[in-house]
């Protein structure tokens, strides 16, 4: 690790004289300027390559104790340069570079309250947060956050509404000026003069999640409110004890999509790993007793077609062992599914033998992934937490999928939004308690990710997306083909996604008008395009055995990477990603396509020059089409080098997958 700090005396002198302190990115292209206007309102602006991207935008907090939105003066500034390289426990890259300039502006309010604004400027964006140092005032009740992004042009925004249950919506595109609803964070912008921006937050620990809305030409923050006993929103958004710092507000500024998806600003804004020895945290692929419930061939609750039985789980475990799959998930193994009033996380149904199955899994070298559905009763889950995690640990279970199927969850503070401050506190307690028991978390119905996996890498993946299950039962017929070509540039930018790819059977006897809008090759491409270190192959074992040659890619593809890159893509049309297996010279390429069939070009320049590789190419057949012929595919091998360029066709709703490995000597 290398950390370098340089104080900038000339910058400080400039700031003192002009009261407009300024810092630029290490490459000098992005510049942030700060000021306090005549009314004492803190404001900032951002330019890139001498073009203003964010006009003077206001900062501040409205509090019950004091209005901290105006009446400030600058009392001090301090700036420094920071350079670091750090290694991920798991991720899309093994090594991440953090280089930025930082500026801390100390402000004093006319009431005497002290508030600092900390800015960081990277080559690919900016971030800021509010810091309240220890002082006479001991607490604050925040009623609003007056942080805004006053973009200089009317950019096109990809977004979902903020009250979309569990974030499980279809992302749509519209100009900022036409956004009449409050939007969920993040928002991805296609800039009017080219380039992209990604607006989100980082390091959300004890604060409500941000949402975004347009007012008077600016994109502003709306904090998720506390609720009263009748589920009505209160004025209070956050209760804080001083000293404290808010989450980071961040904007990625990218020249193109490749630069945007490569940005690691969000991770760099989080604290280093808090787990002393994280070696027990292992990325892995898994299958599970899950898709059958959505296709109505199994049930979660005990009965004639109960899914999570000892016999069925043994079948899945042995299948996983035979095909090199590291783990098996079982949903519906525990008491409580009949009523959804109280789940027990230590008491199995009587047709589930946990002792036998845990011993069998251990003997096979396959892990069991536990499932803890709460029905939205987070307080009940907390009451059982220590006992539940001790029980799982005693049975060799080191990963748990949690669930909160309720848009308003019951926390220790009563009924609250899951992304309000109380819900955020609950999720943090889950992560930190799980770490004590060496348990990794796959969080469903989560708060939107903000990079906490850097600090707590046992938070491995989350849902928070309209995932594969919608293709089993949604009344709108299933997600359109374009959906998976939008997600890598929107939701996936916020963090790993448990999308559950890998459907191999496209018929739906229960809801014939609903299905996966994809070819089989599209489902393979998702394993590369949508990142998750816990990656589920969701379909039934018997469906995989109908196409064992295609299933070989799922057996083979890893879910932990040395480095990753976007090869090509257009939001809503198609995307192609390439990733290098961690600790290996193997590369994997995946592509997914929307409705219009297309020819794509894939340069192999990421390969090592002078070496010969064998590429196993899984691609749509000539007659492939998601509606009429999703099973038409071809698999071929080709000798390639870094100088080669592949020309491939992706069908309507189609895709591709390629495994590239060094040729045997």
What's the CA gap between 82 and 89, in Å, rounded?
22
> Both tokens of residue 303?
């009965």
3-state secondary structure 155-215: CEEEECECCCHHHCCCCEEEEHHHCCCCEECCEEEECCCCCEEEEEEECCCCCCCEEEEEE
How far are the Cα atoms of 93, 480, 488, 528 from residue 567, in angstroms, in the given order?
16, 23, 13, 12
Q: Is 326 helix (H, G, I), strand (E, B) or coil?
A: coil
Radius of gyration of the chain (CA): 25
Per the document, the length of the chain is: 665
DSSP code string of 578-605? EEEETTSS-EEEEEEE-SS-EEEEEE-T
What's the CA gap between 266 and 454, in Å, rounded?
10
Name the one residue in this structure whose structure tokens are 């009017």. 192
Beta strands in 530-596 (DSSP E): 534-536, 561-570, 574-581, 587-593
Name every residue whose Cβ is closer than 8 Å to that of residue 608 and which is 6 or more positions away in sequence.
585, 642
Name every residue whose Cβ is closer than 8 Å to that of residue 13 and which is 6 or more positions away in sequence.
none
H/E element holding 106?
strand 95-109
DSSP code string of 479-524? --TTHHHHGGGTHHHHS-B-----------SSSTT----S-HHHHH
- Choosing from 145, 148, 331, 469, which is the catalytic residue? 469
What's the CA gap between 580 and 589, in Å, rounded?
9
Q: Does the N-terminal peptide bond of residue 186 adopt cis geometry, omega within 30 degrees of 0?
A: yes
Query: Which of 282, 259, 657, 165 lies closest to 493 in space, CA to CA?
Result: 259
End-to-end CA distance of the chain: 36
Known catalytic membership, residue 573 = no
Name every residue whose Cβ is closer than 8 Å to that of residue 183 and which is 6 or more positions away in sequence.
157, 159, 160, 161, 162, 211, 212, 213
Decide: 120 and 102 in contact? Cβ < 8 Å: yes
**Residue 373 phi, psi (nearest 5):** -85, 130
Q: Which residues are catalytic?
A: 469
């Amino acid at each position: 690790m290398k950390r370098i700090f340089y104080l900038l005396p000339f910058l400080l002198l400039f700031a003192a004289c002009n009261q407009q302190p300024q810092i630029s990115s290490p490459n000098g292209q992005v510049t942030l300027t700060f000021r306090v206007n005549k009314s004492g309102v803190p404001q900032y602006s951002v330019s890139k390559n001498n073009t203003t991207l964010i006009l003077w935008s206001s900062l501040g907090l409205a509090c019950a104790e004091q209005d901290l939105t105006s009446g400030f003066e600058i009392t001090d500034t301090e700036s420094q340069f920071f350079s670091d390289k750090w290694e991920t426990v798991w991720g899309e890259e093994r090594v991440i570079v953090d280089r930025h300039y930082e500026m801390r502006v100390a402000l004093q309010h006319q009431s005497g309250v002290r508030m600092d604004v900390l800015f960081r400027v990277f080559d690919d964006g900016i971030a800021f947060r509010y810091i309240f140092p220890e002082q006479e005032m001991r607490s604050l009740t925040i009623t609003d956050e007056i942080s805004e992004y006053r973009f200089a042009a009317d950019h096109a925004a990809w977004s979902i509404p903020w009250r979309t249950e569990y974030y499980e919506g279809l992302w749509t595109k519209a100009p900022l000026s036409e956004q009449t609803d409050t939007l969920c964070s993040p928002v991805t912008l296609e800039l009017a003069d080219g380039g992209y921006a990604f607006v989100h937050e980082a390091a959300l620990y004890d604060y409500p999640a941000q949402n975004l809305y347009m007012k008077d030409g600016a994109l502003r923050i709306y904090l998720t409110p506390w609720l009263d006993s009748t589920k009505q929103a209160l004025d209070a958004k956050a209760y804080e004890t001083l000293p404290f710092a808010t989450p980071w507000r961040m904007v990625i500024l990218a020249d193109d999509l490749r630069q945007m998806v490569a940005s690691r600003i969000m991770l760099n804004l989080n604290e280093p790993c808090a787990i002393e020895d994280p070696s027990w945290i292992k990325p892995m692929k898994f299958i599970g007793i899950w898709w059958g419930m959505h296709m109505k061939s199994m049930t979660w609750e005990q009965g004639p077609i109960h899914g999570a039985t000892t016999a069925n789980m043994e079948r899945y475990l042995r299948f996983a062992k035979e095909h090199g799959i590291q783990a098996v998930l079982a949903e519906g193994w525990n008491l409580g599914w009949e009523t959804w009033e109280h789940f027990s996380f230590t008491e199995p149904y009587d047709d589930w033998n946990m002792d036998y199955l845990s011993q069998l899994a251990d003997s096979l070298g396959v892990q069991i992934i536990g499932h803890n559905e709460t029905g939205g009763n987070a307080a009940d889950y907390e009451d059982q937490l220590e006992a539940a995690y001790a029980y799982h640990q005693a049975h060799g279970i080191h990963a748990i999928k949690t669930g909160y199927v309720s848009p308003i969850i019951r926390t220790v503070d009563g009924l609250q939004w899951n992304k309000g401050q109380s819900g955020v506190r609950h999720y943090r307690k889950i992560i930190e308690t799980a770490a004590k028991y060496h348990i990794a978390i796959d969080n469903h119905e989560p708060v939107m990710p903000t990079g906490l996996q850097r600090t707590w890498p046992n938070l491995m993946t989350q849902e928070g997306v309209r995932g594969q299950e919608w293709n089993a039962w949604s009344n709108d017929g299933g997600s359109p083909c374009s959906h998976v070509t939008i997600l890598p540039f929107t939701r996936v930018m916020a963090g790993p996604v448990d999308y559950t790819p890998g459907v191999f059977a496209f018929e739906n006897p229960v809801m014939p008008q609903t299905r996966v809008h994809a070819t089989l090759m599209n489902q393979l491409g998702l394993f590369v395009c949508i990142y998750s270190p816990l990656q589920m192959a969701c379909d039934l074992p018997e469906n995989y055995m109908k196409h064992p040659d295609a299933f070989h890619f799922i057996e083979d593809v890893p879910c932990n990477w040395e480095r990753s890159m976007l090869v090509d893509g257009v939001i809503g049309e198609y995307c192609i990603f390439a990733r290098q297996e961690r600790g290996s010279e193997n590369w994997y390429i995946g592509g997914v396509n929307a409705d219009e069939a297309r020819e794509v070009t894939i340069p192999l320049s990421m390969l090592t020059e002078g070496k010969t590789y064998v590429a196993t190419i899984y691609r749509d057949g000539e007659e492939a089409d998601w509606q009429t012929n999703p099973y038409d595919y071809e698999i071929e091998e080709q000798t390639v080098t870094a100088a080669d360029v592949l020309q491939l066709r992706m069908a309507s709703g189609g895709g591709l997958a390629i495994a590239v490995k060094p040729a045997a000597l």
